[in-house]
Amino acid sequence: MARRTPSLRFQPSGGSRAQAVPVGKKQLLSIERQAGDGRGIAFEGGRTWFVSGALAGEQVEARVLGARSQTVEARSERIIVASSARRTAPCAHADRCGGCNLQHMAHADQLALKQRTLAEQLDRLASVQPDEWAAALVGPEFGYRRRARIAVRWDAKARQLQVGFRAEASQDIVAIEHCPVLVQPLQPVLQALPELLRRLGKPQALGHVELFSGTHTALLLRHTAALGEGDLALLREFCAAHQAQLWLQGEGEPQADGDVPSLGFALPHWALELAYRPGDFVQVNAAVNEAMVAQALDWLSVQPGERVLDLFCGLGNFALPLAREGAQVVAVEGVAAMVERAADNARRHGLEGTHFFRADLSKPLAEAAWARGGFDAILLDPPRDGALEVVRGISALGAGRVLYVSCNPTTLARDAAELATQGYRLRRAGILDMFPQTAHVEAMALFEKM
């Protein structure tokens, strides 16, 4: 049998196979520009390198984290020639912790990067730009995060419990006693937590810990086996000392240890307090969240008596302020427990005229009973994968204004293109700096029917 000649499509350019780039290899690189996720981009050896911790114009020594045929992911380990835009990271753990990836960049430059990312995605995927760019909505650069997840792992070989935050692109845990982006009430809890957990009798049974700061401070411990009375006593003593609620999660949903006051967060401008439970989605940045709600209501300019549809409503973060302003609100959410809690929040504030429904928001909505009669305006705040199925049926609901709050510029741009086909024009857009020190982009966009 004749030897088969390989197809040309499997041959790299130049006729020879490019050598693999091993993980751990160090490489000198010249960074040419910034990617939307904050990493520096370099070109070396016929591949595109994405380098965390590097800025455009810098020369760095980077260590390979992973590689595919044409791309390499790496992390800067030594700055040979620094950019004039580089600043010293305020956190001593910034070079290892996976939580913040832009601390080496001035806050103004972070905002410019996020603005550019949003504009590029809208142009590339939807061929649209807003009639007006709004100024970035900002809050404190540090001390803003009111929720944190702490990684916990028992190292059987070293017989040691590791406590901290995950390292970038790794399962390693970075021990951290102070986190600059965490709100102040949670700092002493974070600092004392490792010692507490190492005193427990069953370290192998510990999953992770979540910390919450709102109307009360709370600590949630995830565990994979029953906790003994001695461990429970230590946890209760710790939480009492820090004036924190104790929540435990084995199998099933998180449960409070004993009878505790309702855990919630406030929207002071509207005299609202929204109760939630650990596990519910809550925006981590209180200042930007309240400013975001205010901007949404201002952009929508809802008049008393107008019918507004709030999709992906969660606990009522937008629905209840809209109702306070006199709108007739129909709010829809996919998670039944969230619908119940949102309705309870409305009843506690005397907003019984706000109606909450559960629906599968990956399916068309026009046939739903609650959609009959149409709406003057629609507000949607979907998860990262966007709301394409919902958006495809928006024009059938009759709304003249659509306000889209997004945590992913890519899916926002995709859905904006769909809205354009239905006759909606992008009137205004802007970024929301919900996560300073990271490249995460949140945005708000207002569409109006032409």
pLDDT tens for the chain, 450 residues: list them. 344 434 333 334 444 455 789 999 999 999 999 999 999 999 999 999 999 999 999 999 999 999 988 999 999 999 999 999 999 999 999 988 989 999 999 999 999 999 999 999 999 999 999 999 999 999 999 999 999 999 999 998 999 999 999 998 788 999 998 999 999 999 999 999 999 999 999 899 999 999 999 999 999 999 999 999 999 999 999 999 999 999 999 999 999 999 999 999 999 999 999 999 999 999 999 999 999 999 999 999 999 999 999 999 999 999 999 999 999 999 999 999 999 999 999 999 999 889 999 999 988 787 889 998 899 999 999 999 999 999 999 999 999 999 999 999 999 999 999 999 999 999 999 999 999 999 999 999 999 999
pLDDT of residue 17: 56
Alpha carbon separation from 381 to 9, 57, 123, 333 (Å, rounded): 43, 37, 21, 10
DSSP 126: I
Q: Do residues 200 and 231 make contact, with C-beta atoms less than 8 angstroms apart?
A: yes
Q: 388 is written with which tokens?
A: 């394409």
How far, in Å, CA of 446 to CA of 299, rounded?
7
pTM (2 decimals)?
0.92
407 included as an active-site residue: yes
Q: 289 is written with which tokens?
A: 């969240």
How far, in Å, CA of 245 to CA of 257, rounded?
8
Q: Which domains does the chain have, with CATH numbers?
A: 23-86 (2.40.50.140), 110-140+285-449 (3.40.50.150), 147-256 (2.40.50.1070)
**Which residues are 72's β-sheet partners?**
49, 67
CA Rg value for the chain: 25
Per annotation, catalytic residue among 97, 179, 313, 407: 407
DSSP string for residues in 157-194: TTTEEEEEEEBTTSS-EE--S--TTB-GGGHHHHHHHH
pLDDT of residue 6: 40
pLDDT of residue 150: 97
How far, in Å, CA of 309 to CA of 327, rounded?
10
Q: What's the start-to-end Cα distance of the chain, in Å?
A: 68
DSSP string for residues in 321-376: HHHHTT-EEEEEES-HHHHHHHHHHHHHTT-TTSEEEE--TTS--TTSGGGTT--S
How far, in Å, CA of 440 to CA of 38, rounded?
9
